[in-house]
Structure formats: structure tokens, C-alpha cells
């Protein structure tokens, strides 16, 4: 029933009180959820910043390593070693629930490989190719980890904004309106009770006066 259709009756007052109690309970729960998500966001952003720095360091290291491999084996040798890898690295996507928010979970699949899984053969290449492969596998793993964390930060931020809007709506609009309506109905009922009491007294007085007449 819309608020403007609630009548100043006992049933209407009970209905408003139930709605107000429910709104206050939801407000408390959402406020607690919002606080929890904010704490989780702080921890997640700290981890994300750390992993981003590690990613940048690994990117720089991988470029330096492949530059050394290119000097030692030539660009063609590095390219042939890269093309010989048959299994494409990828990831498995999942989710985890944090304060009701589904955060992404990314697991690397066939990113780190053994020497025989790389396909280019041990005898045909030098250790600098292995070093370059190791460096880029580490870099790819770091990219997947960073993508998982940054995706989690984005989802948390989106849900925090939605939750904050709901908390503000309850705090600034719904609860004040219901509180004012409850107060209005209570005042109306008090006034009606006073009027009923006045009428009752008048009726008793009239009956008493009639009873006194001979």
C-alpha cells in the first residue's frame, strides 16, 4: 500500500510502524555491509597497487631478458622458439562471494611450462631462450593476478556505490517520511481520542442532568 493511502487508523499506525522497523533494520544491515565492503576495498586496492608494481618490474625484466636472448640467438631464433610452443596459455574463471559481491577468481592454465612443454627443444637453443621464456611466463601470471584484483576492485566500487545510494535513500527519504507519517497518525489518533473523551463527558453530563430532573 502506498504511503499516501495509509489512513490514520490503528491498522494504519501498525502498518507504518512495521514498515519503519523494517526500513531501520535494512538500513543497519546495509550500513554494516557498506562498512565491510569499504574495509575490503582498502585491502584489495593495497594488494592491487603492490601487484601492479610487481607487474611493471616483471615487464621491464622480461623485455631486458628477451633483448639479451635476441642478441645471443638472433630475432629469428627467438621467434622460432616462441612459435614452437603448441599449448596456448590461458586461465580458468571463477567467482568468490565477499559481502554479497561476486568477485572474479582467475586461475592460470598452462602458463608455466616445463622445458619439454615449450616445444623448441633443449639442444637447439641456449639458456637465454629459457630465461626469456621463464620471464614472460612470470609476466603472464602477473598479468592474470592483476586482472583478477583490478576486476575485484571495479566490482566492489560498483556495489559500494549502489549500496551507498540505498543507504542514503533510506536515511534521508524513506525513514524520515515514515517517521513523520507515524507521528502524524499518532497525533491524529490522540486528537480523535481527546474528541471522543470530550463527547463522552458531554453525554455523561447530559445523562446526569436528565437524571436530576424530576
pLDDT tens digits, 93-111? 999 998 888 999 999 988 8
- DSSP characters for 76-91? HHHHHHHHT--SPPEE
Is this model's pTM higher than 0.85 or not?
Answer: no
122 is written with which cell numbers?
633443449
Looking at the DSSP bridge assignments, the partners of residue 101 are 98
Question: Residues 166, 30: contact at Cβ < 8 Å?
Answer: yes
Residue 61: Cβ within 10 Å count = 15
pLDDT (0 to 100) of residue 5: 64
Instruction: Name residue, grid cell 554479497.
Output: 100
Range 52-66 average pLDDT: 94
Distance of alpha carbon 20 from alpha carbon 177, whole angstroms: 9
pLDDT of amino acid 35: 94
pLDDT band with cut points at 50, 70 and 90 for residue 212: low
166-206 confidence digits (pLDDT tens)? 999 999 999 999 999 888 888 887 777 777 677 777 777 66
Q: Among 22-26, 72-76, 121-125, whose mean pLDDT is lowest?
A: 121-125
Nearest CA-CA partner of 189 in 15, 11, 20, 9: 9
Q: Give all domains of the chain, ordered by start, each with its CATH number.
A: 22-204 (1.10.287.3240)
Amino acid at each position: 500500500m502506498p504511503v499516501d493511502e495509509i489512513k490514520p487508523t490503528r491498522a494504519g499506525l501498525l502498518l507504518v510502524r512495521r514498515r519503519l522497523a523494517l526500513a531501520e533494520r535494512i538500513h543497519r544491515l546495509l550500513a554494516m555491509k557498506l562498512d565491510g565492503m569499504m574495509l575490503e576495498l582498502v585491502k584489495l586496492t593495497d594488494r592491487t597497487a603492490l601487484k601492479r608494481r610487481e607487474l611493471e618490474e616483471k615487464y621491464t625484466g622480461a623485455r631486458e631478458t628477451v633483448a639479451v636472448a635476441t642478441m645471443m640467438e638472433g630475432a629469428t631464433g627467438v621467434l622460432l622458439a616462441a612459435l614452437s610452443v603448441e599449448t596456448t596459455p590461458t586461465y580458468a574463471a571463477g567467482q568468490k562471494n565477499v559481502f554479497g559481491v561476486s568477485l572474479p577468481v582467475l586461475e592460470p592454465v598452462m602458463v608455466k611450462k616445463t622445458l619439454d612443454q615449450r616445444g623448441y627443444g633443449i639442444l637447439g637453443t641456449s639458456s637465454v631462450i629459457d630465461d626469456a621464456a621463464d620471464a614472460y611466463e612470470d609476466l603472464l601470471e602477473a598479468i592474470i593476478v592483476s586482472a583478477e584484483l583490478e576486476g575485484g576492485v571495479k566490482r566492489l566500487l560498483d556495489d559500494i556505490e549502489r549500496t551507498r545510494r540505498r543507504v542514503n535513500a533510506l536515511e534521508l527519504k524513506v525513514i524520515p517520511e515514515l517517521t513523520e507519517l507515524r507521528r502524524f497518525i499518532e497525533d491524529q489518533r490522540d486528537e480523535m481520542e481527546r474528541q471522543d473523551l470530550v463527547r463522552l463527558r458531554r453525554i455523561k453530563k447530559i445523562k446526569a442532568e436528565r437524571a436530576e430532573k424530576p
